[in-house]
């Protein structure tokens, strides 16, 4: 397939690199700013543009790996309405294409992608949705050339998965950030926590998160929880977070026991 890629951010870059390894051709990169279009275009060695008028009309598949705001305005442009169009967003309904394009779908990589960090796309679950059988089959073929984990979900399911992913990734990372701040406030190396963090993940490969829970809140150890709250007294937001998470854990295990 001839693929036109909208976007030059984290998802666009990693996806482009993964597609580049298949037999499919990226025929053009479009990005809103000249510099970023050039950066990704040159990296891939393919034509690029930042001008809407220059977007090629004859690609087979248009992939939109852009911010949600940019997505809405791009989709409504009168570009190749008969071709296939897919976005890569976890939280945008497939129907955003409805009325503008004939064949459309979603190709959502369920992974946290940063420009600075390479990723093995073979290990990235790709969640697909398609408006019709033509798109479904074309996407499935493409996706399976990129990743070993291809799944079909509807918009509602994908939205739920994305919400769960925010808890399991973005919020978890923020808790690491908090832990690292606490350590650094006493000049203690955050690396000291790495074996514990590794084990936290290791555990849920054998046990459900419910079974893997440990700690003062699970044990209803009021004395330690009070002590921790006292230690956080100058950081009311952290104190609040500590109280709420402990309360949630406490209630979970009181109900179960």
Site for its own copies in 69-98 (CB under 8 A): 69, 91
The dihedral region occupied by 230, where left means phi > 0, alpha psi between -120 and 50, and beta the remainder, is alpha
241 binds its own copies (CB under 8 A): yes
Taking the complex as a whole, the smallest distance from the CB of residue 183 to its own copies amounts, in Å, to 5
Q: Which of 78, 205, 256, 257 binds its own copies (CB under 8 A)?
A: 205
Cα torsion through 214, 215, 220, 223, rounded to 10:
170
What does DSSP assign to residue 78? -
Q: Which of 208, 234, 254, 257 binds its own copies (CB under 8 A)?
A: 208
Distance CA 32, CA 74 (A): 10
137 binds its own copies (CB under 8 A): no
Distance CA 7, CA 17 (A): 13
Total residues at the site for its own copies (CB under 8 A)?
91
Tokens linked to 129: 């949705």
Distance CA 251, CA 255 (A): 6
68 binds its own copies (CB under 8 A): yes
Nearest to 18, CA basis, from 88, 71, 67, 74: 88
17 binds its own copies (CB under 8 A): no
Taking the complex as a whole, the smallest distance from the CB of residue 85 to its own copies amounts, in Å, to 20
151 binds its own copies (CB under 8 A): yes
Q: Which of 125, 136, 140, 145 binds its own copies (CB under 8 A)?
A: 125
Q: Are 125 and 147 in contact (CB under 8 A)?
A: yes
Residue 197 CB coordination number (10 Å): 15
Q: Which of 78, 185, 256, 257 binds its own copies (CB under 8 A)?
A: 185
Taking the complex as a whole, the smallest distance from the CB of residue 33 to its own copies amounts, in Å, to 17
Taking the complex as a whole, the smallest distance from the CB of residue 92 to its own copies amounts, in Å, to 9
Distance CA 155, CA 57 (A): 27
Taking the complex as a whole, the smallest distance from the CB of residue 251 to its own copies amounts, in Å, to 9
Q: Using the rule CB under 8 A, give the single segment among 29-37, 77-85, 129-137, 242-250 that binds its own copies.
A: 242-250
Q: Are 232 and 238 in contact (CB under 8 A)?
A: yes
Q: Which of 53, 78, 192, 233 binds its own copies (CB under 8 A)?
A: 192
Q: Using the rule CB under 8 A, give the single segment among 16-24, 42-50, 94-102, 197-205 that binds its own copies.
A: 197-205
223 binds its own copies (CB under 8 A): yes
Cα torsion through 84, 88, 94, 98, rounded to 10:
-50
């Amino acid at each position: 397939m001839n693929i036109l890629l909208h976007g030059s951010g984290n998802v666009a870059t990693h996806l482009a690199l993964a597609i580049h390894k298949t037999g499919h051709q990226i025929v053009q990169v479009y990005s809103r700013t000249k510099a970023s279009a050039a950066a990704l275009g040159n990296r891939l060695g393919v034509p690029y543009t930042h001008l809407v008028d220059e977007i090629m009309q004859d690609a087979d598949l248009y992939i939109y790996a852009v911010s949600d705001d940019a997505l809405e305005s791009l989709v409504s442009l009168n570009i190749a309405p008969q071709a296939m169009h897919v976005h890569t967003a976890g939280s945008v309904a497939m129907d955003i294409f409805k009325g503008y394009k004939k064949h459309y779908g979603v190709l959502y990589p369920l992974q946290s992608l940063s420009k600075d960090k390479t990723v093995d796309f073979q290990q990235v679950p790709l969640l697909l949705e398609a408006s019709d059988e033509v798109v479904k089959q074309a996407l499935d073929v493409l996706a399976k050339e990129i990743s070993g984990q291809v799944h079909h979900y509807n918009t509602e399911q994908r939205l739920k998965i994305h919400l769960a992913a925010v808890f399991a990734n973005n919020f978890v990372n923020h808790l690491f950030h908090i832990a690292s701040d606490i350590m650094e406030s006493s000049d203690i190396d955050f690396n000291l926590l790495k074996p514990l963090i590794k084990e936290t993940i290791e555990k849920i490969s054998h046990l459900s998160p419910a079974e893997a829970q440990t700690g003062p809140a699970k044990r209803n150890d009021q004395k330690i929880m009070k002590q921790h709250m006292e230690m956080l007294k100058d950081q009311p937001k952290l104190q609040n977070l500590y109280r709420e998470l402990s309360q949630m854990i406490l209630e979970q295990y009181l109900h179960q026991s």
